[in-house]
Amino acid sequence: MNKNVERLYNGIIKENPTFVLMLGMCPTLAVTSSAINGLGMGLSTTVVLILSNLLISAFRKVIPNGVRMPAYIVIVASLVTVVQFIMEAYTPSLSASLGVYIPLIVVNCIILGRAESYASKNPIVPSIFDGIGMGLGFTVGLTSIGLVREFLGAGQLFGFQVLSLDWFTPITIFVMAPGAFLVLAFLVAGMNIIRKKMEAKGKPLPAPSGCLTGDCASCGQSAMCTGKKPESAKTE
């Protein structure tokens, strides 16, 4: 049981996919214009992540190593299709506002990243808890970015008017596209400060991986591409 709790702690705090690892930046920027959208996206990703970790861990001894990436993609894409239909049926307004970003969960680097680095090597139960931890970490990240953007951009929290419009002029730019980049920039800068403090304390945080660093080695999809880095290929 201890290991499972450790997995949850690891996903939500220690290796939080949004704040620490900085994975899955496309949905992080795109759907956080309100807290509800962030929460919806986070939870649907969580469901896909738990189920994909479960299935991939269950089939880890059956799937041949050479075709594992296509196999993972088929599993993830099927799960995403199911989740998409469930959302269309039961939460049509959320599904409409998330739009194309729901099917795009397939290419979210968190999902394939966890499949490759954890679920394909570990038994089922820890893999499920790893999925829950990482998914909830992602949900927490998206929801809190959504809260900040919604509060500054519309004076609302979860759709309720918190700041009266009589005296508060919403900074509309925060709920529009540029606001997403701006909030993320300050988040990265804030994390830089925290990183430095933790390093001084002797407890360094795991380095950000994937998209933002432009580093192929840490990318969840690195096994799919032939692993040629553009920068190093130029110098060859």
Partner 1 sequence: MKELLLLAVGSAIVNNVVLSQFLGICPFLGVSKKTETAAGMGGAVIFVITISSFITALIYKFILTPLDIQYLKTIVYILVIAALVQFVEMFLKKSMPALYQSLGVYLPLITTNCAVLGVCLTNVTKEFGILESVINGFATAVGFFIAIVIMAGLREKIEYNDIPKTFQGTAIVLITACLMSIAFMGFSGMI
Adjacent-strand bridge partners of 41:
none
For the CB of residue 185, give the shortest distance to partner 1 in the complex, in Å: 4
Give the separation between CA 31 and CA 142, rounded to whole angstroms: 8
CB atoms within 10 A of CB 12: 20
CB atoms within 10 A of CB 168: 12
Adjacent-strand bridge partners of 156:
161
**Is 80 one of the binding residues for partner 1 (CB under 8 A)?**
yes
CA distances from 187 to 180, 182, 183, 197 (A): 11, 9, 6, 15
For the CB of residue 3, give the shortest distance to partner 1 in the complex, in Å: 30
Site for partner 1 in 121-180 (CB under 8 A): 173, 176-180
Site for partner 1 in 210-229 (CB under 8 A): 210-216, 219, 221, 224-228
Chosen residue from 8, 30, 124, 171 binding partner 1 by CB under 8 A: 30
Give the separation between CA 72 and CA 66, rounded to whole angstroms: 12
Q: State which residue, 48 or 128, has the beta carbon closest to partner 1.
A: 48
Residues at the site binding partner 1, with contacts judged by CB under 8 A:
22, 25-26, 29-30, 70, 73-74, 77-78, 80-81, 84-85, 99-100, 103-104, 106-109, 112, 173, 176-182, 184-186, 188-189, 192-193, 208, 210-216, 219, 221, 224-228, 230-231, 233-234
